[in-house]
């Protein structure tokens, strides 16, 4: 339902909200995602405060969400159950990690590797909200897709996201640890992606409260050196991938060297890396012989 309010009253209210605490960029993000106030709309009302602005939800509802966020640092995405990512808007919940900006380019890196495969089989290991799986399903509509997760709640969330964003896609969801639920298709994957938990356990305590107190630790904690899951996934790719199939993994900002060496050491070919949107070496790439 649209609520139309005078621009000057809206701007005054926005100022009042911002000084109650929190970050201005987060408040404006909330205005945009929850109430449909885009940056352009905001600029136009700042320039023309005598006009009216329409909001998709009431200021009272927005205040309630903002106060809940300030009270215990619950991520805004969880409070409004939404997160825009690449060109899609995903449902999110505390059962899965909020899709991150650093993961966005993983899809482009992957699609570039398979430009000459018309129809193949992909998998997203540890799908969480399904961000990667839904994006692949959208781009590779003739392929067979698989998404796995050890959390049934995360799988249910990913299924809902697929259903609302790419309802006709051919994606199978399986519960289990990394490659484990995909035994039946072992050796047939042309493309496997994963954003596994990769933060070293000792660093979890140092994360922001908005992350460490609300997001699933299972999706963040990668063990002592942060690479427990990554090693399992790479080892599984040795016979999980089809011959010539690609594995592309996201990792922590300082793991590129170690992950790519591990890939080489176990006999993977065409090992390389790519950087994320911030210029950090973020994705490790390899191919089965």
> In the complex, which residues of this chain contact ligand GLN (CB under 6 A)?
100, 102, 195-199, 211, 220
**CB-nearer residue toward ligand GLN: 220 or 285:** 220
| Residue 94, both tokens | 């505390």
**Distance (Å, whole) CA 84 – CA 76:** 12
Q: In terms of C-beta density within 10 A (0-12 exposed, 13-18 middle, 19 or more buried), how is residue 282 classed?
A: buried
**CB-nearer residue toward ligand GLN: 102 or 124:** 102
144 by DSSP, 3-state: which? Answer: strand
What single DSSP character describes residue 247? E
Please state the closest distance from residue 251 (CB atom) to ligand GLN, in A. 8
**CB-nearer residue toward ligand GLN: 195 or 260:** 195
Please state the closest distance from residue 223 (CB atom) to ligand GLN, in A. 11
**CB-nearer residue toward ligand GLN: 176 or 223:** 223
**CB-nearer residue toward ligand GLN: 125 or 242:** 125
**Distance (Å, whole) CA 191 – CA 257:** 22
Q: What are phi and psi of 250, to 5 degrees?
A: -85, 145
Please state the closest distance from residue 112 (CB atom) to ligand GLN, in A. 22
Please state the closest distance from residue 244 (CB atom) to ligand GLN, in A. 27
DSSP secondary structure string, 13-52?
HHHHHHHTSS-HHHHHHHHHHHH---HHHHHHHHH-TTSE
**CB-nearer residue toward ligand GLN: 169 or 196:** 196
Count of residues for the chain?
A: 289
Please state the closest distance from residue 128 (CB atom) to ligand GLN, in A. 9
Please state the closest distance from residue 127 (CB atom) to ligand GLN, in A. 12
Tell me which residue of 48, 79, 39, 106 sits closest to 281, measured CA to CA.
106
């Amino acid at each position: 339902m649209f609520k139309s309010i005078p621009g000057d009253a809206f701007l005054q209210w926005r100022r009042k909200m911002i000084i109650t605490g929190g970050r201005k960029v987060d408040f404006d993000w909330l205005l945009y995602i929850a109430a449909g106030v885009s940056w352009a709309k905001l600029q136009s009302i700042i320039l023309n405060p005598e006009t009216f602005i329409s909001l998709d939800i009431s200021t009272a509802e927005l205040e309630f969400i903002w106060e809940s966020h300030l009270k215990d640092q619950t991520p805004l995405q969880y409070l409004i159950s939404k997160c825009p990512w690449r060109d899609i808007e995903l449902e999110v919940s505390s059962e899965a990690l909020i899709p991150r900006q650093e993961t966005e380019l993983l899809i482009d890196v992957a699609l570039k590797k398979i430009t000459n495969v018309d129809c193949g089989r992909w998998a997203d290991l540890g799908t969480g909200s399904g961000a990667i799986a839904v994006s692949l399903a959208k781009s590779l509509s003739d392929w067979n897709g698989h998404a796995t997760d050890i959390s049934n709640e995360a799988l249910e969330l990913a299924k809902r996201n697929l259903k609302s964003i790419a309802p006709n896609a051919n994606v199978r969801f399986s519960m289990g640890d990394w490659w484990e639920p995909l035994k039946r298709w072992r050796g047939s994957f042309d493309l496997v992606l994963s954003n596994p938990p990769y933060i070293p356990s000792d660093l979890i305590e140092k994360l922001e409260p908005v992350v460490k107190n609300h997001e699933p630790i299972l999706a963040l904690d990668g063990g002592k050196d942060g690479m427990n899951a990554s090693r399992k996934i790479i080892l599984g790719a040795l016979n999980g991938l089809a011959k010539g199939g690609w594995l592309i993994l996201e990792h922590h900002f300082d793991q590129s060297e170690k992950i790519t060496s591990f890939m080489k050491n176990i006999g993977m070919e065409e090992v390389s890396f790519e950087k994320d949107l911030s210029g950090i070496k973020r994705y490790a790439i390899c191919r089965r012989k």
